[in-house]
A and B are shown apart, each in its own frame.
Chain A
Amino acid sequence: MTLIHEPKIEACLRDILQTVSDPEIPVLSVLDLGVIREAIEEDGVVKIKVTPTYSGCPAMDVIADDLKAAFSKVGKIVEVDLVLSPAWSTDWISEEGLKKMEAYGIARPLSETKDKDALLGNEKLVKCPQCGSTNTQLVSQFGSTACKALFKCDDCQEPFDYFKCLK
């Protein structure tokens, strides 16, 4: 499954893509987030395929503009195409991206079954990004953006976002 979804990104374009960040979680680059599905240079034009995390994700238009701006700095023209299939999954966030996310204060997505248990309040599984305790509770299934849920740590008392599993 992971092989089929492996994005086709030309090595020479990676450095610039790495400088374009997700407007909602600025510590993550679009590569870390796994939304770039293809980036190739053809006849002097950089063609990029982007997939949204959620259908209504308002960050998509911003990402498309940022990509154009980043490449125009090095004199390259960009064509951005939005693709829906295959649908984005939290599995596509890179391990490096997950670490950056945690350091930023957002708990990383659990596996599908554990995510369900955590969101239904059946089990305490989400780890507080501040103190590392799993003595946490769900405040709201929906957080500051559609991709996150709001949690609270019962040890350090800090509220925090949990990035929901999406498969």
Chain B
Amino acid sequence: MEKTALFNYILGIADNNLILGQGLGELCGHGPNLETDIALTNIALDLFGQTRSYYQYAAKLSAIHKTEDDVAYLRKEREYKNVLLVEQPNTHFGYVIARQYLFDVFNYLFVEKLQHSKDETLSAIAKKAIKEVSYHKRFSGDWVKRLGDGTEESNQKMQEAIDGLWQYTNELFEMTEADEIALKAGIGVNLSELKEAYYKEVSEVLKEATLTIPENPYFQKGGKQGIHTEHMGYILADLQYMQRTYPNMTW
């Protein structure tokens, strides 16, 4: 597979982890209690670890971005390929959990398939990641049920979160040009094939959580093409501040 296409394919995977991890990292010290605080930051750490492996690989393929840090910090908003779901802001805990769960189910199905990639590096990252992602999904899934099937208030907040975030789920399965090329090369995952399993699993858990799936939803997309929601600029401002202000700084 040609280098630029592979580079783009890797970013399509890694940027999701980076941006979601950044959102979770923001909650460090602000979780509703100590245990969930630690859990969310641990999940962020796993996501950053995976991202780091992907970016290290991407940097080897790029003529412009020499290091993993360049890839992470020195791109413009339009060059980030993450889905809109992961850039949605931290509002209340239920919303954070819903965002996490809707991503975790996808991420698990995705890395499960990526393990069989013909690309040895991607396959190795996926084999490492799947063990971690299974913990994430268990954590977020448990909380979806606990809050959904909880008090009247927690149920209502959880339902609001699902109603608000559902429109971003379909984009997870959109095949970009890089996805198509990687799939043909035996390196990439066929995202459209994950869709049925995803909605089946999510529906079952939401049902158990006494939550309902929005009817006749309109789905949003654009993130994979670099067209982001208004939240993305704020995330990048935080993320890139140090490198933009003090270029090449290290510690």
Contact = CB atoms under 8 A, between A and B. Distances in A.
Interface of A: 52, 54-58, 83-88, 119-120, 139-146, 150, 164, 166-167
Nearest to B41: A142
Interface string B35-46: 110110011011
B131 A166 contact: yes
Contacts, number: 73
Interface residues of B, number: 28
B48 interface: yes
Given A55-B50, A55-B129, A142 B139 contact: yes
B46 A54 contact: yes
Overall SS of chain A's interface: loop
A78 to B, nearest CB: 20
Interface string B126-170: 011101100100110000000000000000000000000000000
Nearest to B40: A142
A56 B38 CA distance: 14
B138 A141 contact: yes
B239 interface: no
Given A55-B49, A55-B50, A141-B138, A84 B128 contact: yes
Contacts of A84: 53, 121, 124-125, 127-128
B50 A141 contact: no
A56 B48 contact: yes
Contacts of B128: 52, 55, 84-85, 87-88
A143 B132 CA distance: 14
Given A85-B120, A146-B45, A166-B131, A56 B39 contact: no
A4 to B, nearest CB: 14
B49 A54 contact: yes
B82 to A, nearest CB: 18
8 contacts: A52-B128, A54-B132, A55-B49, A85-B120, A86-B127, A87-B128, A88-B128, A142-B139
